[in-house]
Structure 1
């Protein structure tokens, strides 16, 4: 009778660990909030969001660049941009920091909740810590971070359905619509639908495979339709395809470069740990799960920005197989389980209120600042004073020029500029094509340059007839044509 009476209580118990890790992650990111403001793309993302709010529509053509003005450009992250713009209007840089930290915290909470379906809390926490560590270099106030909890929820729900040998619920489709409006990475979700569906078919009995395949196919078509529920409709898919068609230019953009193993990194440690796990204990996975891990690993090896995807997907794929491989912990360590009903609700409320109070207190006494390395304020002031209108700039300065209402030669919207333009630009800016640099300056009637202090192009222009260095500081160097009136150099 005692056991029977305890069963409803056990079922009613709720684990507060996801809420705790969300609060801890949020507060940690809040304290180190300036680290989230190190990407120049954040600047133009907010600018585009403000434009969307002002005009009550989304852009279909480029509004900002010097070299691509009027050409087709779809803002596939329009909803994230609007959210960042609202957050910025609400609290300055505090707004984007809080918004970004909240999205990351929610993603970690969801990941832990999915992992706890199969793993005891200590093991689930290790995987969450690994995911956070791998994602850390790419945790920035940008749209892909706002889409991170959606990616975790979508991937976790699909894996849960596959673990049960079922098709996912159509109630998940609004998640895909949300993802498609937040960030162009939704195409990964579409690909995962097919890949994880294979795992469900592998686990199913032969007699059920045809019916299950039809259910997954119907869900996949529904996901494809949901991804088009954006202001751009089916053009959303075309916008995402343009990003994936940049070819060789991926190799010259930092976040799209292949992983570097010349020094030890958390990603290298994760790969070695995964290999050691397979070699020491002979963990056996189904072929579809092996393909999922191999595909995710290949993505991370090819582009460093995919390492965070590796950190999220690999634990989700391994959780169910590991549940029978790792000796289950006794019920005692699951001491984070709270009593059902009012005590659990009060504990959850206390955590939320304490986090909110700490956030308000810290934000009231701390001013978040954007990375000065990406904001050449003084150099742009000099250019504005001279009324320079056609500026050749370093890639990382494009976002700040857009904020200052100056049209950049190039900025972080790589899909707008295309593979050939980017390859030619980086060859010129890196000093690998001096004739190409001079040709770009002449053909585009450039009257000034704004380059980083270590830019090879800046050093070259110091020795090119017809150009002179006008201004330099620790962030940027300004060159102008010799036939312009000189201004005092600092």
Structure 2
């Protein structure tokens, strides 16, 4: 009789979490669909879409830069080519609604997969709470860029590895196809390759001694296969090399906002979650194996070092500690969900299809009556109109405007592709616009025969140019200022308003 009861309860546990996860994911999708403008706040989205369209138009992969003023023709590969193609196709179909839908779907899928994986150790309520906390910690980096499309793949792959370690077995070979998909979406796949070894150590640590050699061989074989699979892209073995190049930019990473370290001078969801985790560990006396401790510390270090890694900590750390946390919270065994409601698999399938159809109908209806707009701070349309009227070709621009300039057919001096421009060039540029080295500013303007500048009003270089002979301010609004070199192109000059300083 006890066996029969356990069997019925287990059926509920195995089926209900899937539907709960799907409903939660659908809710997150709708939330970000409604607040889609929040996803359109980073100018890099512009050039990602433009490169994706180039790939579609040419049916080829870029191996050199085709858009910039200063690096035209230099070697460069796109480590996010598939995400760029998807964004470009979606944009061509539904304007800005396309990228918003794609990013919202990815976030919904991430939450659904996350909750489903946690359901092996937590009841749905706790899994949903952890998912909401992960979303709040990561919200600063939710923008329609390739990393968003890679998030569900990351959670699924690492969750599969952790599930194998929890079972003290080797990873399922069904996880392997996720690697070339992740590789094509975003360069963060190198983290997945690194975690194979780290999580494999946990599987070996908890396995019986007589099984460790065979288990180590299987994990090693999976790791080699994953590395080979990461090269199964149009770029071949150049793929992992290109993805790793960003890590060699040295000092440059310190001036890029998303690569900067966490500032504990302010208190946010991440700081609160980290302190809460430490306090809970002390209060409840939780014990982790050395490999899990190293995994958790590594994720914390990554998040503290670069704010862009907070979402990695937020979604992966719970997967690392879920099983020991559940076991130590309930020493008598994992809790079994109540079985008042039994879900027939056909009912689950019908419910899933209903959610999908309802999602598509609601999406179509919402898009028919709603217009998405990119953040104004990254779309200096009026200023670029003036530059086009004056037929200016060589513009010294703010990096945040590079993507928009590319979409307008202008070659930017610099844009968001830091690995293309390199550490030395970008650091010299930042020292110049920040006013630290005025000589560098003047030299760059002269060396590249710059005809006009397009900078933030508050950028020190825009104030410096007001006092440099040979440069004249011709336009300014609350965000952007244009200076032109006197004696430069004057076509249609009367069409450009002359704004006082």
TM-score (norm 2): 0.94
Alignment of 1:56-67 (within 5 A): 56-67=59-70
State the match for 2:23 in structure 1: 20
List gaps (5 residues or longer) in structure 1: none
Deviations 1:310-350 (A, max 9, x none): 00110000110111123465634x87x65213433333333
1:198–1:288 contact (8 Å) kept in structure 2: yes
State the match for 1:259 in structure 2: 262
State the match for 1:432 in structure 2: 436
Q: 1:273 aligned to 267, 271, 276, which one?
A: 276
1:141 aligns with 2:130: no
CA distance in 1, matches of 2:406, 2:384: 11
Alignment of 1:50-449 (within 5 A): 50-327=53-330, 331-332=337-338, 339-449=343-453
TM-superposed CA distance for 1:173, in Å, is 1.1
Deviations 1:79-126 (A, max 9, x none): 000000110011000000001000110011000010011111222112
Deviations 1:211-263 (A, max 9, x none): 11111110000000000011110011111121111111111001101111111
1:31 aligns with 2:34: yes
Query: How many residues end up aligned between the 2 structures?
Result: 488
CA distance in 2, matches of 1:10, 1:255: 44
1:460 aligns with 2:461: no
List gaps (5 residues or longer) in structure 2: none
Deviations 1:373-396 (A, max 9, x none): 101001001001111111100010
Q: Which moved more, 1:381-390 or 1:480-489?
A: 480-489
Q: Which moved more, 1:338-347 or 1:88-97?
A: 338-347
Task: Give the SS at the match of 1:119.
Answer: coil
TM-superposed CA distance for 1:9, in Å, is 7.8
1:44–1:402 contact (8 Å) kept in structure 2: yes
2:296–2:320 contact (8 Å) kept in structure 1: yes
Q: Residues 342 and 104 (structure 1 numbering): CA distance in 2 closer, same or farther, change over 3 Å?
A: same
Deviations 1:50-101 (A, max 9, x none): 0000000110000011111111100010000000011001100000000100
CA distance in 2, matches of 1:319, 1:211: 26
1:338–1:344 contact (8 Å) kept in structure 2: no
CA distance in 2, matches of 1:179, 1:2: 44
TM-superposed CA distance for 1:431, in Å, is 1.4
2:9–2:336 contact (8 Å) kept in structure 1: no
TM-superposed CA distance for 1:2, in Å, is 9.4
CA distance in 1, matches of 2:477, 2:84: 32
Q: Residues 465 and 347 (structure 1 numbering): CA distance in 2 closer, same or farther, change over 3 Å?
A: same
2:15–2:345 contact (8 Å) kept in structure 1: no
2:107–2:148 contact (8 Å) kept in structure 1: yes
Task: Give the SS at the match of 1:325.
Answer: helix
2:123–2:337 contact (8 Å) kept in structure 1: no
Q: Which moved more, 1:3-12 or 1:263-272?
A: 3-12
CA distance in 1, matches of 2:325, 2:2: 32
CA distance in 2, matches of 1:372, 1:341: 48
State the match for 1:7 in structure 2: 7
Deviation >6 Å, runs of 4+? none
TM-superposed CA distance for 1:455, in Å, is 1.0
CA distance in 2, matches of 1:2, 1:329: 15
2:9–2:337 contact (8 Å) kept in structure 1: no
1:119–1:322 contact (8 Å) kept in structure 2: no
Task: Give the SS at the match of 1:14.
Answer: helix
Q: Which moved more, 1:111-120 or 1:8-17?
A: 8-17
RMSD: 1.6
CA distance in 1, matches of 2:146, 2:223: 24
